[in-house]
Structure formats: structure tokens, C-alpha cells
Structure 1
Amino acid sequence: MASEPSPTPPDFAAESALERIAKRAHATPVVVIGGGMAGLVAAHECAKVGLKVTVLEASDRLGGVVRATDVAGLRLDAGAESFATRGGHVRALIDELGLGDHVVTPAAGGAWVAGLGGSTDAAPLPGGGVLGIPSNPWAPEVRRIIGTNGSWRAYVDRLRPPLTIGHEHSLGKLVRSRMGQLVLQRLVAPVTTGVYSASPDDIDVDLAAPGLNAALTRAGSLSGAVDLLQSERAGAAPGSAVGGIDGGMTRLVDALVARLRDLEVELRTESPVARIESTAGGGWVVVTEPSALDEPALPLATSALPVAESMIPLAEAVSASLPAAAVIVATDEAAARSLLAPLVPGLAAEVGPSPVVEIITLVIADERLDAAPRGTGVLTVPGSYTAKALTHSTAKWEWIARAAGPGVHAVRVSFGAQGEEPATAGLDDAAAAELALAEASALLGIPLQPASLRGASRARFAQSQPAAVIGRPEVVSAARTAIAAVPGLGAAGAWLSGTGLAQVVPDARAEADRIRDALLWEYPAAS
């Protein structure tokens, strides 16, 4: 007896392919766990094709590291203040959301490096180079930082044979062996600590500076390799070029949230997730945590019951179990692994600690800062200062200077790096602001008085493990493969893509596309 063809779902029988897909999309629930930029972008990508999307965010705000703070009457970025222009992905999103005319570029003042010791403790960071590695160790601006002895040692690089068999993975070992300790300590380490929150010894050359090892073989020296890479990239937008948004990067979050609401995405804050459960039909249920177990009970709005019986625990009121055809987990790594490990074979539930960074934003009234004495910011030689970096925001961004007015300045002081708890961690807010002001005084070279401080704000971030750390790509690849093997589960976020919006945005979009394509071209699992 010939086998009968599989029955076509009745609702789809007389419809065109596009109509079937549209109907399927509107009937297919997707839950995105995490309301940071990765989660919002993933939700946007799913909602654009009509999928029924709910976003669950554990905290009381959306945007993750893109957040604002109000200090002394100024609304400033407390976290990410810019985006890398490479790839054009973030700019494309900004344009799509109607903010393209508000993109701005930072001032050309350049950064300094501090902690050099001696009579010249700080100097402008040389332009060009790759991760601080100079192309000409005898350039005056380089010699000012590493001294004549350092320049002689770096020049020995030109006399050494290139690596022709294999190559060096560790950036620190490569720079130390080729150009010496002073180049490593005073030029490269401030950059990797400031950018990656990691030591140069832990940074993978091929990930942080693609093509450098190959150029070393061709050029015969590390400085020559840097020069060769610069020549090859001439005319192209520098990989480190950044942009911002007039009024702050939080405008991107606001615009994205508004678009999601237009697409009827349900956005829930203060909704931590307890677990994800699989269903017999192949779908999922997302169970939220009771968010206020110790809160007083809430009275029912209308009830004829006695008062004692008309009260319900607030925890019950805010708990939920959400059915989903697919779930995208867009949290930090620890939370993502905790939620996914019970469902994903081979995925480790725990990882090592991630860098923790605190940013203290200060608003200071001191006309001496009008001259931008240390350019747009200062990186520090590791171990020389308590702070790892400083950004002079009013010198870097014209829109902040315009809002602040003459003689008033916004400064961001950063603490903490890989394997190093922020020095502010055990301090209360007042003491943290006091320490930040003292560090700002030293790094800017101007004694700032406590009376000049108009206000301060504090933000704490648990960063993802840097993507350029040796061995990290293998960890990420294994996690991606394991997660992708489970139908209906996805993951996005900086722990997978690497930090920075230029990496987070396209990665979240690609993961959402993978999930939505599977949902739209296969009948969704029963919820």
C-alpha cells in the first residue's frame, strides 16, 4: 500500500507561501532573555518578520552597558560612550532607527600615557602603530616615552631574523622578544589593559592584530611589519575609528526600544529568569523568578473577601511561565551557561571569573581643564596608578562641552582589569568619588580641589572575557556548536561575539536570523 503524503495544516492549505509564513510568524512566540544591546537587537530581528517576541530583563533598565547617568544637571553615558566604525554594522542600525544625522566623531586631541616615572610622567601616545607597537622606535614621540635606551633596544628588532617557522601567539612574548620590555610596558600594556582589560601576555596576536605575524615574516622585523600593515590599510577607515551620538549612546537604546514597541514586542524589566524547561511537544517554557519574595502583599483592586483573604503575595503576581517556540539567551556568560547547561549537552555550567570594571563619572568646575591638558584621555602603565584609564569627556565630545558650558568638565575614571578587583570595590560612593578625583588630578596633571567637584556617579560592569585572550576562540566555538545543536535555542552577547557594539550587533543579528529562519521554514513546535 502506497504511503500517504503528510497532511498539510488546515490553516495553511489554501494560502500562498508568503501568507503561510506570515501566519506562522504571528503565531510563533519567541522569548529573548536579556535586555542589553544583544537582546534588543535579536528581538528586533525576530520582530521585523512578525514573530511574537517577549524580552525579559532582570534589572530595572534596558540597554545593558549602554546606559545613562545624570550628574550635576548633565545627562551622560555611564557605560559605552562610542562605537567602532569597522564593518559599518552599528552605523547601519543607527541609520535604520533614524539617528544617522546625529552621529558625531570625537575630537582629534588624542590620548596620553601616564606612569612613565621620572620628570616626564606623562606624554602623548604616539599616533599610528598597532596596539601601541611603533613603526619607528626613533620617532621623537616614541623616544619621549621609552627613552634613548628603549629606542636602541627596540631598534635591535631590525637586526634580528624574522620568525619563519610558526609564529608567536602571545602579543606580550612577541613584543618583549623583538622590541624589549620598555616598548611592552610603556606602549603596549597601557593599550591592552585599557582596551581589553587584559595583560599583553594573554592577548592572541592573530586575534588582536590580524596579519601582524604574516607581515613580520614578510618585512623581517616587528616595526617593519607595523609599517607594512599601515601602508596596506592606507585609504581605508582605521579599525580603531569610533563614532558617537549627539546626546549620548543611550539614544540608540531609546530608539531601539521605541521601534520594538511599534513592532508590538513585549518588554518586561525586573523579570529575572529561573530556568528554561523543555515541553513534550518540542517547545520551551521560560519560568521567571519571583522578583519580590519579601515585599508586602498587594491588595486586590476589587474584592468582597475579608482583608486577610484579599491579599496575594507580590511574588505570585509577577511570576510567569512563558511558552516559546524558541528562546534566545542574551545575558552575560555566567547567567547564560547556568540557564543553558541543563538543556545543552556538553556545555559547561560555569567559567572562570570575568573582569570587573567600575567607572566613576565626575563633573568638575575648573577652568584649567578648558585647555585639555592631556588630550581626550589618559591610559596608564599597569601598576603606576590606581586607575587604569581616564576619559576627558568634554575634551573628547563637543556635544558634552556644549551642554556643560565653559569651565565645567565631565571626566570618567576607570578602575579594574583582568584578575584585578577595582580599587573602588570596597568603598562607599563618597569615598569612590574622592579616589577618582585624586586619580584625575594626577592623570590630568592639575591639582583638582574637592570644592570643584559638582557631582559624581558610579557604574559597575562585569565584562566578558576578552575575545582576543589566548584560548578564548576555542571556548566560544565549543559553546556555539553545542547550543546550535539544540533546536529552538540560541545565544548572543559579548561573551560570544567579543566586547564592543561593532561585534555584538552583527553577532546578535546573525544568531536571531538563524533562529527565525528555522522557525519560519519549519512548522513551529507546539507550546
Structure 2
Amino acid sequence: MRGGHATPSSDPKATVSGPAAVVVGGGISGLIAARELAQGGLTVTVLEASNAWGGCVGSHTVAGLRLDSGAESFATRSTAVPDLARELGLGDRIVAPHPGGAWVQLPDGPQELPKTGVLGIPANPWDPEVRRSLGLAGAIRASLDRWLPASVGTSSDVTSVSSLVRTRMGKRVLERLVSPVVGGVHSADPALLDVDMVAPGLRRGIRAHGSLAAAVGAQRRAAAGSSVGGPSGPAKAGSAVAGLKGGMNTLVDALVADLRQRGVALLNGQHADEVVKTQEGWRVTAAKTTYDAGRLVVALDGPGAVGLLEKSLPELSGLRPAAGPLVSLVTMVVDLPQLDGRPRGTGILVAPQTPGIKAKALTHATAKWDWLADEAGPGTHVLRLSYGRREDAGGGADLVLDDESLLAAALEDASALLTVPVSRTDMVDWDVVRWAGALPFAAVGHKQRVEQVRQVCAAVDGLTVVGGWLAGNGLAAVVADTRAQLAAG
């Protein structure tokens, strides 16, 4: 077959020529890359190994409700996601969460999560909510950050979230505020994570503003200025995000529809087995079909991208990142009017040292999103509990529980965290979704690895590599970085 778009062939020698660009990976970064290429006038084919589009921006149906099975919000620190949503005709669907705020479960009991700006780090250690969480001694220690030289925590080439916070604000801020947030968002111990990857610009902000608290405050003000509805003063913790009415999965639906309208070939069940650099460009082999293209975009997770490219680019072999942790999400739809009062706001994060709780976070989705509460109806609630936390830099073996064991843990944890008994008799429906490696593991030194990967790839004509493992965790980072990389390529 020559010209147009390819269709899989059972002939192992079949070669399909014609597409000017091939995108390997149909997650959110791959779909965005395909759109950028198509807008540039190229003929594009997207190869996706699974039968679903959007990667970790997925959906599932539980009790007749279409719910997000992965990402359910985006950070408002930039306009990247709102801009894309508006381009796709979803501007009127952008919504802010209910202003109830989030909580944190500490070893000595629950507390409202203070109005913090970045990774749970307080912009003001003497804010009443912060002081309540830290205690007097903890607030005094945290306030010493103001008097430390700006070079403390910023002079080394790399540093972990834990090291930066402990050095500037002390152990209590780390354990009671930062660890729960980092565990909930990144599924990892803050001692393992590169602060420059998970909080870009924070160390630079310390040098510019003189302290960690001031840097956090500056980032929070910038986020408030670009958030849904614009600046509105200090927001409740957990509200520096926004979502889409109908769920973030509607962004994937809109992207897929947009790509089909542009004539992009979207091919499911096409696992890319080999990539070879040719004189004319690139040759990709998938499902016994080959695709020749002048432009190649690899939009896979880190280990997958390196594994696919290292034959053509041996320099990448030593830059393979660790796989992300296995994260299991238990979604329960319950008939429980006692939850109408939102006993823990929009949800609760769990400090790692909290005894008796296996979950790292609980999202009370119907308390967080008014549109979902309207769809579910009075007395019906959607709870989502997250399990899995990377505690060692080597990756280790992820602890895997079967679905029934996870459900039992979720019922027990939800009852303890929400202070309302949640039992099987209250259950309307439930589901378990597992994401293996969906969250990039930004270990200390990862930023330098990313720079090396990009240097290697930039030296090769027609190649762009995108995805969360390079951009950083979260939709805002992935959307902005993917578009920037395609514009530069």
C-alpha cells in the first residue's frame, strides 16, 4: 500500500509508505503531538499498543456513572491545559473544585490541610492552620527559613524534596505537610524525588526571593493569577487545581475527535516492536507492518522509550529511568447520605507514618466536583482511594493486592478517614484500576538525565521524545512540554 494511511498487514514483509510522521504512543502526550504535527500540515499516523486512547487520562463506568479512571484534575499553575481545552471547544466545561478544601491524616489525628502553595510547603509558617499542624516549636523552626542564606539548599547541582525542606524548614514541615502531599501526588517518598523535576523553579525562586516560604508564595500568586476565575485571594488547600465537567477523560474524547477530523490515522493494538533510523528518516515496525516517515515522535514511558530507541541510539542505554510505582485506585459508589456533609472536605491525604491506614489518599469525588454530585444524585457518593507508594530508589517489588483485598482495605480505610462507617451493604458498585508506571519516577538526578536524553535526541534529525518522564508529573507539565518540544522540533 502506498500513499494515504497504513492498515496492519499479516504479511511480515509488508511495507507501508506514505505517512510523513509517525507517533508511537497514544497517551495524552502522543495525541497532543499528533495534533501539533497535523496542524503543521503533515500526514500523521499514531500507533497505540492498547485498545484505549489517552493513557492515564482514562475513564470507566461505575454504577452507571462515567468516571475518570486516572487523572481527574490539572494544576492551575499555568494556562497550558485551559488553553488546549478552549482550542478543543471545551472552554465552557472548565470548572473549579468545590471550595471545601482538603485534609491530612496525621499520626495524632486529622487536620485541615493548610493553605500551602507547593508540595505542601507553607508560604507562611505562622498561618493559623499551618501552626495548628506544626505546633509552636515546628512553626518556630520553619520560620528560620527566612534568615537562612539563599544559597542553603540551592547551591548543589541536585537535591531531593526532603533535603530541601528539612534543611530550610525542618523535620516537622517535612513529615506533617510535605510527605502526605508528595505521597498522594507522586506516590513516592520525598527523599527520593528530585525537587527540580517535581517543583520546577522552586530553588530558583529561593535565590530570587530569599527564602523557601517566599518562593512558595510567589509561585502560589502566579498560580492564582492563571487559575479558573482569576485571582481571588488565598484559596483552600487542594483548590489550586481545576477540572472539566464530565471528567478529564472528555479532553481525550475531544482530542481524538479533533484528530479524526484532521485525517490523522489512529491505530489501536499496534505495539511498536522496532524503530530503525534510515537515510530517508525512520522506519517503525508494528504488528508485522512497517511505517516509513520523515518525522518520528516517541510518546512512551521512560523505560519503553529508551528500549525502543536504544538500537538506533546506543547512547540512550545508560539513561534508562526507573519505572514508576504501581498505583491501584479503588473507586466505590456508595449510597450513604451521611456523607452529604463532606466530613473531610474534598478528600484527605495520609501521612506515611500514620498507623492503621493502607491508602495514601482518598478523594471524595462527589464532594470535590459539583457536576458529579448532580449526576450521582442526593445521598450517592463517589469515593476513590489510592494505594501504592515508592519507598526505595531502586524501584523494588511493588506490593500487589488482589481486587477483593483492595476493596476490603478501601472500606476499612474510608470508614476511618471519613469518620462515617462505609460497608459493603452501602455499596452500589465498585471497580479497581491499576496503573503500572503511569507516574514518572523523578528520582534525584533525573533532571540531569532528562537533559542528556534530550541532547542525544536533538542531535538526530526528525526525532522528538515526549511524555511525563521528561516533562514531569501532571497534565499541566505534560501538555506544556509536549507542545514546546513539537514547536522546537
- For Structure 1 versus Structure 2, the TM-score category normalised by the shorter chain is 0.7 to 0.9
- Equivalent residue in structure 2 for 1:162, among 141, 144, 149: 149
Aligned partner of 1:140 in structure 2 is 128
* 1:201 match: secondary structure: coil
* 1:347 match: secondary structure: helix
* 2:400 match: secondary structure: coil
The residue type equivalent to 2:285 in the other structure is: V
Q: Tell me, in whole angstroms, the C-alpha distance in 2 between the residues paired with 1:328 and 1:228.
A: 35
Aligned partner of 1:368 in structure 2 is 338
8 Å contact kept, 2:77–2:223: no
Aligned partner of 1:248 in structure 2 is 247
Aligned partner of 2:432 in structure 1 is 458
Aligned partner of 2:13 in structure 1 is none
User: 1:94/1:422 Cα in 2 relative to 1: closer, same or farther (>3 Å)?
Assistant: farther
Q: How does 1:32-431 map to 2 (within 5 A)?
A: 32-117=23-108, 121-155=109-143, 157=145, 161-164=148-151, 167=155, 169-209=159-199, 213=203, 222-223=212-213, 226=216, 237=227, 241-279=240-278, 281-289=279-287, 319-348=288-317, 350-384=320-354, 385-419=357-391, 425-431=399-405
Aligned partner of 1:13 in structure 2 is none
8 Å contact kept, 1:415–1:423: no
* 1:434 match: secondary structure: helix
Q: Tell me, in whole angstroms, the C-alpha distance in 1 between the residues paired with 2:214 and 2:90.
A: 41
1:206 to partner: Cα distance:
4.8
Q: Tell me, in whole angstroms, the C-alpha distance in 1 between the residues paired with 2:464 and 2:205.
A: 37
Q: Tell me, in whole angstroms, the C-alpha distance in 1 between the residues paired with 2:104 and 2:113.
A: 6
Deviations 1:373-394 (A, max 9, x none): 0000111111323111111100
Q: Tell me, in whole angstroms, the C-alpha distance in 1 between the residues paired with 2:59 and 2:178.
A: 31
* 1:277 match: secondary structure: strand
Q: Tell me, in whole angstroms, the C-alpha distance in 2 between the residues paired with 1:31 and 1:150.
A: 54
8 Å contact kept, 2:330–2:410: yes
- Equivalent residue in structure 2 for 1:488, among 457, 462, 469: 462
Deviations 1:51-78 (A, max 9, x none): 2211110011111011111101111001
Whichever of the two has the greater Rg, that structure is 1
Among the aligned pairs, what percent are the same residue?
46
Q: Tell me, in whole angstroms, the C-alpha distance in 2 between the residues paired with 1:219 and 1:39.
A: 37
8 Å contact kept, 2:224–2:240: no
Q: What is the TM-score of this pair, normalised by structure 1? A: 0.79
User: 1:217/1:286 Cα in 2 relative to 1: closer, same or farther (>3 Å)?
Assistant: closer
Deviations 1:222-279 (A, max 9, x none): 5566557667887564897322111111111111111111111111111111101233
The residue type equivalent to 1:371 in the other structure is: G
The residue type equivalent to 1:472 in the other structure is: H
* 2:469 match: secondary structure: helix
Length, aligned pairs only: 455
1:142 to partner: Cα distance:
2.4
The residue type equivalent to 2:345 in the other structure is: G
The residue type equivalent to 2:55 in the other structure is: G
1:357 to partner: Cα distance:
1.2
Deviations 1:257-315 (A, max 9, x none): 11111111111111111101233x433221114xxxxxxxxxxxxxxxxxxxxxxxxxx
1:179 to partner: Cα distance:
3.2
The residue type equivalent to 2:377 in the other structure is: G
Q: Tell me, in whole angstroms, the C-alpha distance in 2 between the residues paired with 1:99 and 1:134.
A: 33
Q: Tell me, in whole angstroms, the C-alpha distance in 1 between the residues paired with 2:38 and 2:223.
A: 38
| Stretches of structure 2 lacking an aligned partner (at least 5 in a row) | 1-16, 232-237
1:441 to partner: Cα distance:
1.3
Q: Which moved more, 1:351-360 or 1:361-370?
A: 351-360
8 Å contact kept, 1:54–1:265: yes
Q: Tell me, in whole angstroms, the C-alpha distance in 2 between the residues paired with 1:203 and 1:426.
A: 23
